[in-house]
């Protein structure tokens, strides 16, 4: 089985696929409530507990993680945000290694989308295109909507983790052939 993770300090998406690529589990851990999660290590401890539960229930053989952003883009994350995200990615990578005794494999989001056949038209937001692609092509992918009809924020992280897991499956299949 493959575990795909889309790591963020606010919402971390996860997907478990079986060897045939069927979705076993797809969800997200929402850590935006500051009352319960006061810092990176508090959030990491929570996710470690959840990953340990997965270990008890599923035979995870590979862990794929979305590679954290490496450079600035105008209008996007600041240096502080990129640094915090990279730190959290590293902490959770180590936790995966510790829990599953597997070294995580990193995939950049554009590479993952490409290996899944998802093309982002110029001028469109990647997250929205990915979400729609999965709704149209992955029967097991289900989302919830707000009162105004927009996807709930964690649905984008669920979608990204699914794309990472599917890209990981493609990598596994390519390495076997």
* Averaged pLDDT, 73-82: 61
Q: Is the pLDDT at 86 greater than 90, yes or no? A: no
User: Looking at domain 2-176, does it have CATH number 3.30.420.10?
Assistant: yes
According to the model, what pLDDT value does residue 23 have?
95
Residue 176: pLDDT band with limits 50, 70, 90: confident
CB atoms within 10 A of CB 94: 13
pTM for the model stands at 0.89
- Asked if residue 72 has pLDDT above 50, the reply is no
Q: Is 90 exceeded by the pLDDT of residue 1?
A: yes
Phi-psi region of 117 (alpha: psi -120 to 50; beta: other; left: phi over 0): left
Give residue 88's pLDDT band: very low, low, confident or very high (50, 70, 90): confident
Residue 141 has pLDDT above 70, yes or no: yes
The rounded mean pLDDT for the chain is: 89
> What's the pLDDT score for residue 77?
58
Instruction: pLDDT band for 173, please (50, 70, 90 cuts).
Output: confident
Parallel, antiparallel, or unpaired for β 11-17 and 105-107? unpaired
Cα torsion 77, 83, 86, 91 to 10°: value is -140
């Amino acid at each position: 089985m493959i575990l795909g993770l889309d790591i963020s300090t606010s919402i971390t998406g996860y997907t478990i696929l079986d060897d045939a690529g069927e979705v076993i589990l797809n969800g997200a851990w929402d850590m935006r409530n500051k009352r319960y999660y006061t810092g990176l290590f508090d959030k990491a401890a929570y996710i470690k507990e959840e990953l340990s539960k997965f270990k008890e229930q599923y035979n995870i053989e590979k862990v794929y993680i979305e590679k954290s952003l490496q450079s600035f883009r105008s209008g996007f994350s600041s240096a502080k945000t990129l640094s915090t995200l990279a730190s959290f990615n590293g902490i959770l990578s180590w936790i995966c290694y510790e829990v599953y005794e597997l070294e995580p494999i990193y995939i950049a989001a554009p590479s993952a989308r490409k290996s899944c056949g998802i093309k982002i038209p110029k001028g469109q937001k990647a997250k929205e295109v990915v979400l729609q692609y999965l709704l149209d092509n992955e029967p097991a992918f289900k989302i919830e909507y707000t009162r105004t009809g927009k996807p709930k924020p964690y649905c984008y992280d669920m979608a990204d983790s699914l794309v990472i897991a599917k890209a990981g499956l493609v990598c596994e299949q390519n390495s076997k052939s």
